[in-house]
Structure 1
Amino acid sequence: MYTQTRSLCLPRGCLDDVTKFLSNFSVSTKIEDKRVLGNKLKSLKIKTKLRKEQQSAVKDLARFDVGVLHAPTAFGKTITAIGLIHKRKVSTLILVHSRQLLDQWKERLNTFLEGASIGIIGGGKRKPSNEIDIATYQSLIDRKSNTINDVIYNYGQVIIDECHHISAPNYELVLNEVHAKYMLGVTATPYRQDGHQPIIFMHSGPIRHKGISQSQSKFEQRVLKRSIFSQPPQELMIVTPRPHISEVYKWLTESPSRNDEIADDIAHTVRQGRNPIVLTERRGHAEILAERLKEKDISYVILRGGMRVKERQAANVRLNEVQVVVATGKYIGEGFDLPRLDTLFLALPISWKGSLAQYAGRIHRESEGKESVIIYDYVDYSLPMLERMFAKRLKGYDALGYTVIEPELPNQMSQAPLGLDS
């Protein structure tokens, strides 16, 4: 919210609440609409048939000028948004926060839409088509003048992918300049760990459709709880009220026995023909675990932040060839699509339900022959804070429809009735 001369400027998502508030005090309102309609894309055609639940979502979203699509991974949020682009047939700008999502949207649009040029702004490219363009929001900001690129005024519709990121100050700077008639936010997690989710709805409007993943009814979903009882360093035991998570991560990352146990579990699933992804919160930990896999002659690829373009491209080429994907959670949490994955290893503990839902979503995509998905959760009982983090994850697993299984004998997976071969 900010003020100008004799004006009070509010994000567009506040309109319904403001008019209702004024009406409650018998204050009449007059709306002068200065939004941009954009250019018509009359030749636009879609090259796929949306599933019934996606068609229902498009119908609900099209009834409103602004709103949020809230749906889990495997629902097909990108395809649904493409369906809305096709229905409205107006020039559209798709905003993303990463190069990875930029590339994914480009691939999907080229695959499923025809009749419009696809432009790119970001990742070192600045070639807008003014028909359907994809942009990283950072690329629209002139860092010297702190102004927004005028290209943003050319569209009748703006789609914000992973819209839970828009509370970032620079993202809001971009959205404050949007004049498009239509705005859609897309997310699997319409909440934030910092509690700033109201900003999502202030800009994008309320949730207009909440989707349910098909995978949640098609796959058997299990969590294998792996209990670990290793003694932490004394300095972690005496810190009050609790040690910093970075220090705890350092201890867990450098634990040879813990890393060996994770690597043994990964090897076990590979032998059973499963397709695992290993997620950690530290780049160095990804390297350590990858080295353990190398010692076991297991092929892998590492995905992490800070990769150069050629490194990322080479890694992407190998994704369907390797036995294991090792990645950092922040890199892989959004915009990653490898349907064959069916087993997730949480190599370091997390607590926030949003991250858990995003990470679990990596193994929820449909793939031929996939009947079950499994999460390996390593619970370190030597620190109370780690037990509390697991308690929070339990609530998240319950919300996602998972059943938690614990071997009768800790650290004896081969004796546990896992049913992995079923």
Structure 2
Amino acid sequence: MSRSSKLTYDRGTLILHPPPKGKAWIDFATWDDRIEKFRIPAIYYHSLTQTLKENDIPFIDSAKEFFSLEIVNCDEKTPYIHQQEALQAWKNANGRGVVVLPTAAGKTYLAQLAIIDTKQTTLIVVPTLDLMQQWYAQLEMAFPKTKIGLLGGGSHDNTPVLVSTYHSAAIHATALGNLYGLLIFDECHHLPTDFFQAIAEESIAPYRLGLTATPERGDGSHRHLDKLIGKVVYRKTSKELSGDALAEYKVIPIKVQLTPEEKEKYQTAIQIRNDFLRQAKISLSSMDGWQQFIKASARSSQGRRAMLAHRESKEIAGGTSAKLRVLIQLIEEHYPDKILIFTNDNATVYRISQQYLIPAITHQTPVKERHQILTKYRQGDYKILVASHVLNEGVDVPDAKIAIILSGTGSTREYIQRLGRILRKANQKEKLAILYEVIAENTTDEKTAARRKGEGYQVDKKPSQGQILLYPHHDRQNSTLKAAESKPPYNQNDE
């Protein structure tokens, strides 16, 4: 009588030995001469075991060490309709897939619903230590009778529900691979990199949930999410949820003009850059144009001069004094509403902070100081914060109402994240959030602002005012809350 095949977990892979009869399983396996046994990638665990069962092939499953949990949920608020729909769509996909929801749409609560539904040991992976602490606190309140642990930032717990940073989970991927039946990837667009994707590849978890506002990546690697987690099973935008789960909002671009001195410096810098790009036959609008420019700038003094000129042009457009004048006007108009100010560089953050005595947060801000600033902001002691990129992702600012973008990148993800900072309703049922984009006219600022809106936007020019207004193609009539509004160009020479 032949022995039953035994399935074991070994260093991020599966071993099936002795080989079972039939050929149904063979497509999953690769022969390993070193141990003279068949190896199977851990990520195929669910498909493999289902295939063995469907073909009545007996086997002993010694691979899995995840188990069922008794979940006592103390966070029994009623889910929004979109959360119920998202959970059902994920369940219909056999508990594997990506849910795309805007910032502030309740992705953490959706994850809690998935944990309650599957009742499996769970690994939650997040990009930052701040997010790790936020998830931990939320899960502790929701599931007080379940042991919640941390992996990262000096913690190395071994618990049925574990919250980890991507970095720590990748380092320990082999050890974690067979301990958890449910993987939850917050901001899952971080996953498809050579280092981080091992978390999914070396795991046998049959259930996988990805959460993000923007799964697409510039390098195209988001296509790997289909294999690592599952296909996109549900998607909603800020516009679709505004007025219900999210606050109503306006996006208002304000045009400013450079001073004659700034304009002259800007045009000189752009000319130096463009002359080099023309000689090097590089187009920044091409897919790899920026990478080509970086490489070329390192090969010659002309290239370095062109790159410095490019940076100077960005600094002039992003930090023109006209933008700061508009900033003060907006603060005076909206104070004491809570305001977030975003820039693209730390120098402008510190300039605003020092000049106007506004608390600032950058990646250089010590953790303790950052926590104190955010706490005072939440409590209302501070009404205004200025930051570069550090508040884009993973910071809960529940009652911010006004956001002012003085400068930024062309990233759609960054734009959605910054907008999301002000969309939480909190206790304000009639909240109207406003996002201001302050744009330097006749500079690359305009193209950058248009690019971050994505493909659903077009450019309208009004020659009489020299402005650019951005409207969604399909919703020009409903402009009260969704369409971009404009103010006249602001020229400091008019004063």
TM range (shorter): 0.7 to 0.9
Once residues 256 and 223 of structure 1 are traced to their aligned partners in structure 2, the CA distance between those partners, rounded to angstroms, is: 22
Matches within 5 A, 1:117-136: 117-129=147-159, 131-136=160-165
Q: How does 1:5-404 map to 2 (within 5 A)?
A: 5=31, 12=43, 36=64, 38-49=66-77, 50-63=79-92, 64-129=94-159, 131-142=160-171, 148=173, 150-211=175-236, 215-218=241-244, 219-230=247-258, 231=263, 232-233=265-266, 234-240=268-274, 241=277, 246-270=311-335, 273-294=336-357, 300-320=358-378, 321-329=381-389, 331-369=390-428, 370-383=430-443, 385-394=444-453, 395=456, 398=471, 402-404=482-484
Contact 2:96 2:229 in 1 (8 A): yes
Instruction: Describe the SS at the equivalent of 1:377.
Output: strand
Name the CA shift for 1:260/1:212 in 2 (closer, same or farther; >3 Å): closer
CA distance in 1 between counterparts of 2:132 and 2:273 reads: 43
What residue number does 1:25 align with?
A: none
The count of aligned residue pairs is: 386
Amino acid at match of 2:355: R
Does the 8 Å contact 1:249/1:348 carry over to 2?
no
Distance 2:60 2:418 in 1: 41
> Deviation digits for residues 116-171 of structure 1, max 9, x if unmatched?
10000101111221x111011212345xxxx7451342111111110011122210
Residue 236 of structure 1 aligns to which amino acid in structure 2? Answer: I
Equivalents in 2 of 1:327, 1:149: separation in Å? 37
Supply the distance in 1 between the matched residues of 2:173 and 2:452 (Cα, whole angstroms).
Answer: 40
Alignment check: 8 A CA contact 2:140 2:148 kept: yes
Which amino acid is 1:362 matched to?
A: R
Give how far 1:355 is off.
1.7
The answer to whether the Cα contact below 8 Å between 1:47 and 1:114 also exists between their aligned partners in 2 is no
Q: Which amino acid is 1:292 matched to?
A: Q
Is the contact made by 1:193 and 1:352 (CA closer than 8 Å) also made in structure 2?
A: no
The one of the two structures with greater contact order (alpha-carbon pairs below 8 A, sep at least 6) is: 1
Report if the CA contact (8 A) 1:276-1:325 is conserved: yes
> Structure 2: how far apart are the matches of 1:85 and 1:409?
51
Counterpart of 1:217 in structure 2: which amino acid?
A: G
For the 8 Å contact 1:215–1:364, the answer to whether it is kept is no
Displacement of 1:100 in angstroms is 1.3
**1:363-384 Cα deviation digits (max 9, x unpaired):** 111133353121111222232x
Q: CA offsets per residue over residues 61-106 of structure 1, 9 Å max, x none?
A: 2231311111112321100111110111111000112111101101
Residue of structure 1 equivalent to 2:297: none
1:186-229 Cα offsets, whole Å, 9 max, x none, are 11111113322102222111012224557513544222222122
TM-score under structure 2 normalisation?
A: 0.70
Q: 1:113 to 1:55 in 2, by over 3 A?
A: farther
Give 1:326 deviation, angstroms: 1.2
Distance 1:303 1:32, change over 3 A: farther
Q: Is the partner of 2:243 in helix, strand or coil?
A: helix
SS of the residue 2:89 aligns to: helix
Distance 1:409 1:69, change over 3 A: closer
Q: Is the 2:269–2:313 Cα contact (8 Å) retained in structure 1?
A: no
TM-score by length of 1: 0.81
**1:57–1:211 CA contact under 8 A, matched in 2:** no
* CA gap 1:280/1:59 in 2 versus in 1, 3 angstroms: same
Report if the CA contact (8 A) 2:86-2:234 is conserved. Answer: yes
Q: What amino acid does structure 2 have at the position aligned with 1:388?
A: K
Report SS of the residue matched to 1:135.
Answer: strand
Shift of 1:182: 1.0
Partner residue of 1:22?
none
Q: CA RMSD in A?
A: 3.2
After superposition, what is the alpha-carbon deviation per residue over 1:247-304, rounded to whole angstroms, capped at 9, x for unaligned?
Answer: 433334553343333233333322xx4321111121221111122322xxxxx43222
More deviation in 277-286 or 4-13? 4-13
2:74–2:141: 8 Å Cα contact kept in structure 1? no
The equivalent residue for 1:420 is: none
Match of 2:288 in 1: none
Q: 1:332 to 1:409 in 2, by over 3 A?
A: closer
Contact 1:11 1:202 in 2 (8 A): no
